[in-house]
Amino acid sequence: MSQEGALVGVVDTLPEVEETACQIVDSGGRAWAAVFGHLGPQSGCSRGEEIQKELGDVDILVNNAGIVNNIAWLRKMKFESWQRELSVNLSAAFIMIQLVIGAMIEKKWGRIINVSAGAATGGLQKQVAYASSKAGLLGLTKTVTLEHARMDHCNAVLPD
């Protein structure tokens, strides 16, 4: 995207995201990085607002978060592990969409791409949190499309 002239904001829970921004800048693009330590509405919105302050309104949002930290049978998965995976894989997308959708509506233009997974439609053994979070992302995508179809486009891709 940066090679096509886009100003890129990259966000992750890991500090290595700053290396990604540096690589974009080193290749002649413009980028800004933010590390989301705790994913909650307050931290997500404040970090997202920092990106908007630095780069301007977001015209294209790619929600590409995906962690698979909980390989366990459903009966053995800890609730905290379940919540962490849903927070990163689903709630972060909700927070980011909520943050950018207003400007997209005002401009009557915007693109939202949510990266789900094949597990969203078929499930995965020992990955109930991952499969559930990616299925939830499909529901979020469909709802955003229904609510805002005239003003933006929201799609999901499901790589294997």
Query: 40 or 19: whose pLDDT is higher?
Result: 19
Return the H-helix or E-strand segment holding 153: strand 153-157
Query: In the chain, which residues fall in CATH 3.40.50.720?
Result: 40-49+58-157
Phi, psi of 75 (to 5 degrees): -65, -15
Would you say domain 40-49+58-157 falls under CATH 3.30.590.10? no
Q: Please list the active-site residues.
A: 130
**Minimum mean pLDDT range among 24-28, 50-54, 62-66:** 50-54
Q: Could you tell me which of 54, 127, 141 has the C-alpha nearest to residue 96?
A: 141
Q: What is the pLDDT of residues 69-126, one digit of tens each?
A: 889 999 999 999 999 999 999 999 998 899 899 999 999 999 999 999 999 999 999 9
Distance, in Å, from the CA atom of 17 to the CA atom of 61, rounded to the nearest integer, reads 16
Q: What is the pLDDT of residues 33-58, one digit of tens each?
A: 888 765 555 555 666 677 778 888 89
